[in-house]
């Protein structure tokens, strides 16, 4: 192919801008194989076209919108990730507060239940103690009658309690004491034996006899005190009368 039509027809520029017909394009490409000059012109034209395409314009802006820079894509992902992290933090904080409130409520309920259980146990223990403890009775005063040898006076009186309970007779010993054992006999005014006992002396002065007041009724009684010597020999020590009254 001659260079004249190439120069006059701007085939290199038209080829670079893709404006040749199919037959012209095929013929020009066959010529480019052996023509360094035309190849240089095509490369120059392609560089110029590329430069024009790099100028700002609606097309360039559209291309920019269609193909976002890699840093812009990364920035978008970073913003999305930051938003996701922020939402996770907010959700985590709310969930933690909810769990803490639930734990506090459960702890308060458990403490209240423990207090009620302790109170119920204390009440049950107190009830068991009351049931196990025998009823307290006010100790009754035990009547004590001292019988001593007197002359010219009437018999002393023993006041019997309303309910059967112990009464005590304190009988005077001989002076000076000679016996370490005694026989005590209690008879009614009709001679009926009410009680007989063998006792050791309670003190240097007396022999003490305790008996149930239920054995006695109102009336006069006789108490005989005898000392027990060797071989069981009995020696009279004293005889005392008294009245039992209600």
Asked if 206 and 171 touch (Cβ cutoff 8 Å), the reply is yes
What integer pLDDT is reported at residue 64 of this predicted model?
45
CA neighbor of 181 nearest in space, from 238, 241, 234:
234
Confidence class of residue 236 from pLDDT cuts 50, 70 and 90?
A: very high
What integer pLDDT is reported at residue 98 of this predicted model?
87
What integer pLDDT is reported at residue 60 of this predicted model?
44
Asked if 242 and 157 touch (Cβ cutoff 8 Å), the reply is yes
What integer pLDDT is reported at residue 12 of this predicted model?
76
Instruction: Please tell me what DSSP assigns to residue 137.
Output: -
Asked if 202 and 168 touch (Cβ cutoff 8 Å), the reply is no
Q: pLDDT over 70 for what percent of the chain?
A: 78
Give rounded-to-5 percent helix, strand, coil for the chain: 50, 25, 30
Q: Does the structure show a pLDDT above 80 at 90?
A: no
What integer pLDDT is reported at residue 65 of this predicted model?
47
Q: Does the structure show a pLDDT above 80 at 229?
A: yes
pLDDT, tens digit, 9 for 90 and up, residues 34-78: 888 888 888 888 877 777 676 665 444 544 445 455 544 455 555
Q: Greater confidence, 57 or 161?
A: 161
Q: Does the structure show a pLDDT above 60 at 221?
A: yes
CA distances from 66 to 56, 61, 191, 228 (A): 15, 9, 144, 141
What integer pLDDT is reported at residue 220 of this predicted model?
95
Least confident stretch, 95-109, 165-179, 226-240: 95-109
CA distances from 227 to 44, 81, 108, 168, 245 (A): 164, 119, 81, 20, 29
pLDDT, tens digit, 9 for 90 and up, residues 179-213: 999 999 999 999 999 999 999 998 989 999 999 99
């Amino acid at each position: 192919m001659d260079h004249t039509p190439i120069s006059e027809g701007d085939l290199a520029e038209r080829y670079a801008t893709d404006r040749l017909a199919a037959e012209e394009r095929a013929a020009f490409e066959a010529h480019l194989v052996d023509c360094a000059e035309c190849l240089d012109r095509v490369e120059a034209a392609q560089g110029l076209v590329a430069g024009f395409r790099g100028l700002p314009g609606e097309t360039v802006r559209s291309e920019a919108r269609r193909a976002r820079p890699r840093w812009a894509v990364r920035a978008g992902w970073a913003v999305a990730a930051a938003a996701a992290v922020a939402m996770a933090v907010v959700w985590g904080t709310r969930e933690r507060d909810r769990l803490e409130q639930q734990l506090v409520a459960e702890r308060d309920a458990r403490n209240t239940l423990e207090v009620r259980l302790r109170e119920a146990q204390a009440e049950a223990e107190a009830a068991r103690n009351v049931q196990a403890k025998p009823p307290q009775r006010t100790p009754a005063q035990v009547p004590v009658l001292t019988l001593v040898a007197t002359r010219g006076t009437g018999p002393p009186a023993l006041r019997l309690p309303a309910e059967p309970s112990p009464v005590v007779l304190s009988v005077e010993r001989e002076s000076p004491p000679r016996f370490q054992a005694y026989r005590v006999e209690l008879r009614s005014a009709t001679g009926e034996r009410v009680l007989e006992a063998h006792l050791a002396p309670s003190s240097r002065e007396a022999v003490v006899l305790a008996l149930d007041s239920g054995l006695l009724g109102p009336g006069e009684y006789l108490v005989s005190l005898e000392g027990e010597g060797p071989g069981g020999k009995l020696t009279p020590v004293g005889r005392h009368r008294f009245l039992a009254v209600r």
